[in-house]
Structure formats: C-alpha cells, structure tokens
Amino acid sequence: MAKIEEILALEQIENDIFRGIATETLLPRTFGGQVAGQALVSAVRTVDPGFGVHSLHGYFLRPGNPTMQIVYLVDRIRDGRSFCTRRVTAVQDGKAIFTMSASFHGEDRGIEHQDTMPRVPMPEDLPDPDLVDDQTVRWARIEWAEWEFRFVPPEQMDTSRRWAAQQQVWFRSREALPDDPVFHVCTLAYMSDMTLLGSASVGHPDEKTQGASLDHAMWFMRPFRADDWLLYDQTSPSAGFGRALTQGRIFDRNGNMVAAVVQEGLTRYLRDW
C-alpha cells in the first residue's frame, strides 16, 4: 500500500492541472478518501499560503478505476480579501468521477464555543485491533495498514436513545507525518471517508448491502495532527430508499473539536444479478 506522503504528492502537469498516483487497494473502486484528499491538495496548491481551508463539499459521480491515475482540473472561482474558492474536477478516461468545491479563509477573530467530547475510553485502554475477532476491524487493518484504529465497544459508548445508530473510532497514522499543518488537513480529508458509512450498518448487522460514498462535506475548525489520536464520533440519523445519511465529529484526545463531516452513502440491498 502507498504511504500517505506518496498519495498526496501530486504532479503538476500544467497551470491548475495536477495528477495523482494510482494506489493498490482491496476495493473494487478507488477509495473515496483518496480522491477527496488529492482534490484538496490540488486546490491548496493554487491558493496563497495566507489562506487556510475551512470547508469542502464533494460529489462522487462515477466509481474510480484504482489502477489508473487521476487528473485534477482546478477552477479559480474567487480570490477575495477574506475568502478564496476553488472548484476541482477529478477526471479519469475523459470522464468526471468527482467534483469538489473548497473554501479558504484568512485568519479572523470571533466568538468561540464547541460541543463537549463524548465520554469514551482512551485508545490505550482499548484492545489492540490485531487481537479483535471482528471482520470489519480485520478488513480495515489490511486495507489501511498505515493507520491504527481502535473501535469503542458499544457497551462503553456514551449513547442516547434519540440516536438511531452510532459508532466511535479512535484513529491515527502509525508513522510520524510532516509538520506542515496543511498536510495534516489534506490527510484528514483522506481519512474522513474511512469507517464513516459503516455507522449506518450498526443497527443492521445481518443485512448485506452495497456501500459507496455519494457526497461528502467537511469543515475544519481547529489545528490538529493526524499522527496523534483522533476520536471519530459517528452517527447515522436516517437511512432509507437505498441511501444513508451519516455524520461525524472529530476530536483530538484533549477534547478539542477539530473537524465535522457529513456524508450520504449508498446502502441498498445487494442485487441478485
């Protein structure tokens, strides 16, 4: 499997045109987090360093071919005094497979507040995933060997009857990453697609469904490092008609809410072809 530094090291082939590598995967299509992370890198490389990304909104249009490189076309939609906007289209074989808008903001001062991190065990207090006899955990360990996961057992989660489905996962890079804060933001865009759609299946453990990310929105609130433990507090408030809505809040181990994610994914029953 390619390292995250290789995945996010895009080649610039023309003004505002970039190319990302193909990576080995067990998935039948390109991992959505890879496309989102590479698209964000391409947008970042067209923006003045004084602006930091604060949000992205993407749509997965076609399944990517994991054996092919992806070309990213960047449109400079706006360059203002406080905000910049970029639109990115990911292309394979002449067809758009993903489109994303990303917004960048210069530093400002304003009101501050955040939700409290749920009461959960620290990652060191949870079992090593190599010792957990769970198919989902084993698969994640193989597909994303560069990342460490600790799933919070249901009996140890801070739950509410109002939530239809919930899942909590600690995760981090196994190896130290570069110090560049922008690299960690793009890395989290990559990692944010991991395990999130699985929260929709928590209440349906015996159902066989086809899963795929349909759209993905993300907001970055506070600095963090992707090689330090992050808690992904995930819920799925609704599922129906073959789709599921999922959402996640990401906290660092000190309780700072660093990002928020909302995603709709395909969760239709497997078709008997």
With cut-offs at 50, 70 and 90, classify the pLDDT of residue 132: low
Average pLDDT, the chain: 92
- pLDDT at position 163 is 83
**Least confident window among 43-47, 208-212, 252-256, 261-265:** 208-212
Residue 267: give the domain boundaries: 117-273
Q: Choose between 134 and 204: higher pLDDT.
A: 204
With cut-offs at 50, 70 and 90, classify the pLDDT of residue 260: very high
Mean pLDDT, residues 239-265 taken together: 96
Are both 51 and 3 inside the same structural domain?
yes
Residue 208 CB neighbours (<10 A): 8
Alpha-carbon gap, residue 87 to 25, rounded angstroms: 27
Per-residue DSSP letter, 117? P
Q: Which of 213, 227, 236, 252 is catalytic?
A: 213
Mean pLDDT, residues 170-180 taken together: 95
Mean pLDDT, residues 173-201 taken together: 94
Whether 251 is in a domain gets the answer: yes
Q: Give φ, ψ of 110 to 5 degrees.
A: -170, -165
With cut-offs at 50, 70 and 90, classify the pLDDT of residue 245: very high
Are both 69 and 129 inside the same structural domain?
no
pLDDT tens sequence across 67-118: 999 999 999 999 999 999 999 999 999 999 999 999 999 988 999 999 999 9
Are both 84 and 147 inside the same structural domain?
no
- pLDDT at position 63 is 93
Residue in the structure block whose two tokens are 């406080």: 82
Are both 99 and 150 inside the same structural domain?
no
Among 52, 78, 107, give the residue marking a domain's end.
107
Q: Is position 247 annotated as part of the catalytic site? A: no
Q: Are strands 95-106 and 51-60 parallel, antiparallel or unpaired?
A: antiparallel
Are both 263 and 231 inside the same structural domain?
yes
Are both 99 and 155 inside the same structural domain?
no
273, pLDDT greater than 60? no
Among 107, 128, 144, give the residue marking a domain's end.
107
Residue 98 burial by Cβ neighbours in a 10 Å radius (0-12, 13-18, 19+) = buried
* Cβ-proximal residues to 227 (8 Å cutoff; 6+ apart), any chain: 172, 173, 175, 176, 177, 184
Q: Which of 38, 92, 192, 193 is catalytic?
A: 193
- What are the residue ranges of helices labelled H in the chain? 4-7, 32-44, 135-143, 181-191
136, pLDDT greater than 90? no
Whether 152 is in a domain gets the answer: yes
Whether 112 is in a domain gets the answer: no
CATH of the domain at 143: 2.40.160.210
Are both 50 and 159 inside the same structural domain?
no
Are both 157 and 178 inside the same structural domain?
yes
7, pLDDT greater than 90? yes
Work out how many domains the chain is built from and give that number. 2
CATH of the domain at 8: 3.10.129.10
Q: Is position 213 annotated as part of the catalytic site? A: yes
Count helices and strands (H / E) in the chain.
Answer: 4, 12
133, pLDDT greater than 80? no
Q: Is position 167 annotated as part of the catalytic site? A: no
Give me the long-range contacts of 246-255 (CB less than 8 A, separation at least 24).
246/196, 246/197, 246/199, 246/200, 248/192, 248/196, 248/199, 249/115, 250/188, 250/192, 250/224, 251/117, 252/222, 252/224, 252/225, 252/228, 253/122, 253/123, 253/228, 253/229, 255/116, 255/117
Whether 214 is in a domain gets the answer: yes
Query: Which SS3 state, helix, strand or coil, does residue 9 take?
Result: coil
Whether 238 is in a domain gets the answer: yes
- pLDDT at position 42 is 98
Are both 65 and 160 inside the same structural domain?
no
Are both 127 and 227 inside the same structural domain?
yes
Are both 37 and 164 inside the same structural domain?
no
Among 53, 83, 107, give the residue marking a domain's end.
107
Q: Choose between 74 and 144: higher pLDDT.
A: 74
